[in-house]
Homo-oligomer: A and B are copies of this chain.
């Protein structure tokens, strides 16, 4: 599939103004007026359109026809405790998007510290998501969220109806075994703690949900972000194999 430009609201036979960020890609890819382009709204739709040109400083596009409608992938939500390195968090957003996470969440745990969360960071992550989706041809963009308080994280988990997998090096069941025995559910939420691990109290609270399981990802210690990516890869592959 050709790469696409992003616009949050697309309908057939309408004219739209491209967001500045996307207009920039237009320039980078040397797209000229009257040239055919693809557009996605990040909600599963791919449209064909035509670039009309720059009119009074704005970049106009005519949306023509819906050419592809993708089914939503089975839910795969990854919740990762915040990392000290912003670069590693950015990197994780990119990789989890490519792999096909439907939601990427960060939270503060007792041993993870906090991050200096700002609208700026949220915008940055959303840009990474858009670029990674263009790269991998994914038409559903994952949402990226941040929960500063532990209580809010627990509320988020409570609202989730699939299976919650709490990554735990000391768990008896490994992920492969878990999927072959409890994998019939078609949506998963993986929770990965900080490098110093969850506190006992945090673990207890996470595992208090009726659909939460303590699962060992590997027999070796992984960096926190590697654990997320490792678990997400296996879960995505499992879900793809089921669909």
Contact = CB atoms under 8 A, between A and B. Distances in A.
B135 A223 contact: yes
B174 A241 contact: yes
A85 interface: no
- How many of chain A's residues touch chain B, expressed as a range? 20 to 34
A237 B236 contact: no
A136 B220 contact: yes
Contacts of A77: none
Interface in A203-242: 217-223, 226, 229-230, 233-234, 236-238, 240-241
A221 B99 contact: no
Contacts of A222: 98-99, 136
A215 B163 CA distance: 29
Interface in A170-216: 174-177
A174 B177 CA distance: 19
A217 to B, nearest CB: 8
Nearest to A195: B135
Contacts of A100: 218, 220
Contacts of A147: none
A238 B174 CA distance: 10
A150 interface: no
Contact of A237 (B98, B138, B174, B229): B174
20 contacts: A91-B91, A95-B229, A98-B220, A98-B222, A99-B218, A100-B218, A135-B223, A136-B221, A137-B221, A138-B220, A174-B240, A174-B241, A175-B237, A176-B238, A218-B236, A218-B237, A218-B240, A219-B240, A229-B233, A234-B234
